Structure formats: C-alpha cells, structure tokens
Amino acid sequence: MKTIDAGVLTVGYLDDGPGDGWPVLLSHGFPYDVHAYDEVVPRLTARGARVVRPYLRGFGPTRFRSAGTARSGQQAALGSDLVALLDALRWETAIVAGYDWGGLASCVATALWPERIAGLVSMASYDILDIDRLRHAHDPALEHVIWYQHLFQTERGRECLAASRRDLCRMLWRQWSPSWRPDEATFARSAASFDNPDFVDVVVHAYRHSFGLASGDPAYEDLEKRLAGRPPITVPAVTLDGTQDPLKPGGTADHAEMFTARHEHRAVEVGHNLPQEAPAAFADAILTVREWLRAAERT
C-alpha cells in the first residue's frame, strides 16, 4: 500500500503491474474497498497494465489533508478526487473503471474531464446522479431496497452507522448479492476500511446530498451545475449490469443514448458487487476497451 497527496486528500492506494504499463484506475463502491478487485488485477497486469486501486475518501488509509475540508461525499467531489489522483500519478490519461460509488466517480470524471479519460468501464451504465429526480419517489419496491439511504437522512441513521457499521454493511452485502456467499475473512478484509475516522460523515453526506437534503461543498458547486445538465460520455465505454442486482431492477441498457463514442452493454448473472462476484467478466470489459483504443491508434 502506498500513499500520495492528491488534491484535498492523502490517498492510500494499491499499485500493481509494470511501472510503464498501460494505466488503469479501479474505483470501489460503498460499502466495499479495493479488495473487490483482488481477482481482477492479475488478469490485467498479465496483459501489461499498471493498475492503481485507490481507497475512496472516507475509506481505509485515505485521509483529508486539512481538518477544515468539508467531509463531503457528493458526486462532484468523488469525480474530482479521481482526476486529482491522475495528476498526482502524472498520468495524462487512463482507463477508469468502477461500480457503485466508484462507477459514479468514474462517470463524473469522464463526463467533466473527457480529455483525461482514455476509456470507461461502468457498472450501471450512466451512473451520474440525477439529483432533481432523486428528490421524488420511486416505485415502492425500489424504495424498500434503498432503506439504508432513507435511514441515513436522520441522526438516528448516523448513530446506527457509527455504532453498527459492520453489521449494517454485512447486511447490504447479503441483500445486494443474493447468490454470492463470501466467507467472513473476505468481508473482514474490506470491513477494516470502514474504520476510517471520516467514514460516517462522508457516507451520510453522500446520501443526504443525493436526496437534495444537504448542501454541497461550495468548492464543487459549478461542477454540480454541469452534472445537472446530464453531460454525455464521449469516450469509448463498456457498461455492465448484474442481472441479480436489486438496486438496478430491469438493468440500465436504456442508458445507451448517453454514450456518444463506441459503446457496448453487457449483462452478467451476478449481483451488485460485480468485480468480486465475476472478476473475469469485469476484467474482460477493461481489456475490450483497451483493444478498442489500440485499434484506433493503428488507424
């Protein structure tokens, strides 16, 4: 594990593969961490990739550099963190890939800074939040699934997450991946990341902001306005759905119009934690984008 100063964070990250390999940035979700990609990474490094897996803000060893920085979990902050990390690593461009918060961050970075992103792999397709839409109700069946988001709108929810973070997060793992049964050691390896001192603040703010019930960090106000305009994804992209993912009933194939460059959508017979449940499928999506980029370079 390494650390690097990147924007407002000192980011903890894992760095695998040759130093001069083609760059890939893998971003994890909530409530997971970098170990979601443990079986994806060897498939990429064997093909010459240099793979960096950062712990997102509020997770693992990643820390805010200043006590005065807002512990924001809003989408513009997550996307900005990825671009700041590219700068710190001195990567001009990279393939970015992620799911859940990591997919959100990857889509935000791609939409706002397409010149920095060579290609994208995103679970749940165009995963940028439509906050105006999220101010209003969904079908009751989906509202039932996102019970944790409703819980986090209250101080009672903050208290629950702070006091029982492992039990709550283990419950989400089980509900979101109904046919995946990781052993306790697998969960514990990732759950250690939830002990970050900023975990509760960042998570609670993320879901309150996404519901339109908490103000964002003023530093990201202009970026949030741009995201509200639903900017398209203009780089080559493979998008993925888990057919057993209760958070995305019916899948996201209908997001295709948001992708203006080469794009392919795939469905995989797994739940929400796709890279850990189906690492070969996730790695293959990244390798597909890599081959598209190489083919474009040859023409």
Q: The pTM is what?
A: 0.97
For residue 215, what is the DSSP state? Answer: P
Confidence (pLDDT) at 66: 98
pLDDT in tens, 43-67: 999 999 999 999 999 999 999 999 9
pLDDT for residue 48: 98
Residue 29 structure tokens:
């979700």
Instruction: Tell me the per-residue pLDDT of 241-297, one tens digit each, with 9 for 90 and over.
Output: 999 999 999 999 999 999 999 999 999 999 999 999 999 999 999 999 999 999 999
Residue type at 206? A
Whether 195 has a pLDDT exceeding 90, the answer reads yes
Residue matched to tokens 């461009």: 93
pLDDT of residue 299: 86
Q: Do residues 116 and 87 touch, judged by C-beta distance below 8 A?
A: no
Is the per-residue pLDDT at 112 higher than 90?
yes
CA 283-286-290 angle, 5° bins: 135
In b/e form, how buried is each residue of 169-186, taking b as 16+ CB within 10 angstroms? bbebbeebbeebebeeeb
pLDDT band at 98 (very low <50, low <70, confident <90, very high): very high
Average pLDDT of the residues in 85-95: 98
Give which of 35, 38, 74 is closest to 57, Cα–Cα.
74
